[in-house]
Amino acid sequence: MVATAERSQEDAVARIGALFDTHHPRLYRLARRLAGSTEDARDLVQETFLRAARSPSSVPEGTSHEEAWLVRVLVNICRDRWRQIAVRRHHDPSISYPTSSGHPESALIAKSMVWQALEGLPPRRRAILVLYELEGKTIPAIARLLDVSAVTVRWHLSVGRREMVTVLESGGRS
Partner 1 sequence: MKAVNDLLREADPLNEDPGLSDVEVRVMRRAVVEAANERQAAGFFAYQPLAVGAVLVLMIAAGITTGRHLPSSRNSVSRPSSAPTVAEERRQLQFATPGGTRIIWTFDPEFHP
Footprint on this chain of partner 1 (rule: CB under 8 A)? 5-6, 9, 12-13, 16-17, 20-21, 24-25, 28-29, 32-33, 38, 42, 45-46, 49-50, 52-56, 100, 110-112, 114-115, 118, 129-130, 133-134, 161, 164-165, 168-169
CA 95/CA 79 separation, integer angstroms? 17
d(CA 163, CA 160): 5
Least Å from the CB of residue 89 to partner 1: 23
Burial pattern 123-147, b for ≥16 Cβ within 10 A else e, equals bbbbbbbbbbeeeebebebbbbbbe
Cβ at position 154, least distance to partner 1 in Å:
15
Residue whose CB is less far from partner 1, 55 or 94: 55
Torsion of CA 133, 138, 141, 147, to 10 degrees: 60
- Which one, of 159, 139, 163, 141, lies nearest residue 151 by Cα? 139
* Complex with partner 1: residue 86 or 134, whichever CB lies closer: 134
Contact in structure between 104 and 111 (CB atoms under 8 Å): no
DSSP state of 133: I
* Of 5 and 94, CB closest to partner 1: 5
Question: Least distance to partner 1 from the beta carbon of 168, Å?
Answer: 7
Q: Considering beta carbons, is residue 13 or 151 the nearer one to partner 1?
A: 13
**Toward partner 1, which CB reaches closer, 34 or 75?**
34
CB of 143 to partner 1, least distance (A): 19
Q: In angstroms, what is the minimal distance from the CB of 38 to partner 1?
A: 6
